[in-house]
Amino acid sequence: MTALGVAVRGVLRDGVEAYRDSPQATAWLRQHLARFEEPLRVAIAGKVKAGKSTLLNALVGEEIAPTDAGECTRVVTWYQDGPSPRVIMVPREGPSRPLTVVRRDGALTIDLGGTPAERVDRLVVDWPSQSLRTTSLIDTPGIASMSADTSARAGAFLVPEDAPAPADAVLYLMRHLHQSDVRFLESFHDQGVAKAAPVNTVAILSRADEIGVGRLDAMASARQIAGRYRRDDKLRSLCQTVVAVAGLLAQSGRTMRQAEFTALATLARAEASDTEPLLLSADRFVRASETAPLDPETRAALLDRFGLFGVRLGITLIRRGTDDPSRLSAELVKRSGLDELRTVLTTQFTERRDLLKSRSALLALELVLAREPIPASLPLAREVERITAGAHEFTELRLLTALRTRVVTLPKDVRVEAERLLGGDGGTPAARLGLDPSADPAQLREAVLDALGGWQRRAESPLSDRSQVSTARTLVRTCEGLLASLPR
C-alpha cells in the first residue's frame, strides 16, 4: 500500500463518518473504499467488430466472451474471478437474477432469456481464472454502432457525465487510426487529476494481421505502424502507448485444440503444390475442390478460428519443426503480440494500481462534497486539495500530461528522458531509468545519481525558464524518491 493510497483511504473514511446521515453518499463512498481491495478494473472499448471480445478471450485464455453479434454483445459485461461459473443479469429496474451457464464447443454462450438489451444495466460473469484474479475485464458495446442506443450505452459507461468512470483503465481497440477514434479518445481524456488521462489508456491495433493482408510478415508491418503512432504527438497526448495485437491468433493460440493441430499438421505435410493455391485467399481456402487436403468443413472451421494469417503461420511453423501442440500454441501466442500487451498491462496499469484507484476515489468524494454540502464539507475539501497538490504521484501525472500535450516544452532528447523518469514507460526504477529489468542495485544507484545531478543543474541554470525550472524540480524529487527506494 502506497502513502497515497493510505491518505486517500483515510479521507474516504472521514467522508463516510461525516455523511453517516446520508445513506446514498455513505454507500457511494464505501463503494470506492471497497474498490481498493478489488482487482484492477480494465475496460475494453472500440468500434463494432474491432475484436473486443476476441481480445478478452485471449487475455483470459478461455472463450468466455461471446464474439457473435447477439443481444448480449450490446450489454456492458463484467468478467471477474469466481469460485464457480456464474452469470448474473442486472436489469435497469428490478432485482438481479442468474442466467443459465451454457458452453457449446468449449465456448460460453449467454442468453438474456428474452429480456431486451436496452433493459439490462450489465451482466456479471464469474469465472475461475488465474488471469482474472488481479484484473477484472469489462467488455463494452461497440462505439459508433449503427444502433444509437448501443453506442450511447458504451459512451455512458466509459465517459459518465457526473461520476468517476467505473473502470480504472481502458484498452481502446482500433483497426486503423480514424478521426472517430481520435474524437473518442479526446472525449475520454481529461486534464483533471482524478479523471481519464493518457496514463490509463492504451490503444491497440487489434486486428494487426489484417494490416499486411494476412502475409507472414503482417505483424512486422503492424508493429511498424504502431511505432509510428507512438511517435505521433497528437496520439501520445491521448493514450499511454500503442500495441499491435492479432487478437484472433492470440485467442486461438491460447485455446487451440488437438484436432486443430492435427488439421494444420495435415496441411503442412501435404505437397506445396496442393496447399499454396489454397492459401491465396480465404475464399479459395474454403471453396477448393474435393481433392484438396482436408474436407471443406474442417477448412472452414480452421479459417474461422485462426484466420488466413494464422493458418499460413501455423503451417509454416510446423514445417520448420514446431511439431508439438503446446509448442505451436506458445509460438502462435508469442507472434500474436499478446505477450507484449501483457507486459504493457503490468507496467502501465498493475504497477499504478493505487494511483488509478486513488484518482477515482478522490473524484467520487469531490462529487459528494459538491452535491451534498454540509458543515464538514470544507475541511474534507481542504484535505482532498492537500492530497491532490501534495502527492508526488499526482504531480508526476500532471507533468507527464503537460509534456505530452506540449503545455510544457523541452528539447526532444530532454523531453524523452523526462517522460521516462515520470513513468511514461513503466513505474519500476529500471523502467524509469531506461535500464534492463535485471539491472542490479548498484547500476540503478549509479543511473539515478547521474539523472539527479543533471536535473539539479537544469533547475539551477539561469538559461532555464520558469516552466523548465519547475519541471526540473519535479524530476529532482522523482530522482530523490527513486534513490530512497533502492536497497542500501
pLDDT in tens, 259-300: 999 999 999 998 888 888 888 888 888 886 666 788 888 999
The DSSP secondary-structure symbol of 86 reads E
Rounded to 10°, the helix 353-371/377-390 angle is 150
Rg value, the chain, Cα: 25
225 in Cβ contact with 371 (< 8 Å): no
Q: What are phi and psi of 348, to 5 degrees?
A: -95, -30
| Domain 3-246 part of CATH 2.30.29.30 | no
Distance from C-alpha of 472 to C-alpha of 353, rounded to nearest angstrom: 26
Q: How far is CA 142 from CA 177, 356, 476, in A?
A: 16, 24, 44
Residue type, 470: S
pLDDT one-digit tens code per residue, 197-239: 556 788 999 889 888 777 888 899 999 999 998 888 778 778 8
Predicted pLDDT of residue 309: 93
pTM: 0.85
Where exactly are the structural domains of the chain? 3-246, 250-336, 391-485
- Strand-pair category, 40-46 with 169-174: parallel
Residue type, 364: A
The DSSP secondary-structure symbol of 246 reads B
Average pLDDT, the chain: 87
Distance from C-alpha of 470 to C-alpha of 277, rounded to nearest angstrom: 64
- Strand-pair category, 169-174 with 201-205: parallel
Q: What are the grid coordinates assigned to 409, written together?
A: 516544452
- pLDDT by 10s per residue, the chain, length 488: 688 999 999 999 999 999 999 999 999 999 999 999 899 999 999 888 888 999 999 999 998 988 765 666 788 999 999 999 999 999 989 899 999 888 877 778 888 888 888 889 899 999 999 999 999 999 998 876 555 666 677 777 877 776 777 888 889 999 887 777 777 777 765 544 444 455 678 899 988 988 877 788 889 999 999 999 888 877 877 888 899 999 999 999 999 999 999 999 999 998 888 888 888 888 888 886 666 788 888 999 999 999 999 999 999 999 999 989 999 999 999 999 999 999 888 887 887 888 888 988 998 899 899 999 999 999 999 999 999 888 898 888 888 878 877 788 889 889 999 999 998 888 889 999 999 989 999 999 999 999 999 999 999 999 888 989 999 999 999 999 999 989 87
Sign of CA dihedral 133, 397, 203, 152: positive
DSSP result, 410-453: --HHHHHHHHHHTTTT-SSHHHHHT--TT--HHHHHHHHHHHHH
Q: Which residue in 330, 286, 316, 329 sits closest to 217, CA to CA?
A: 316
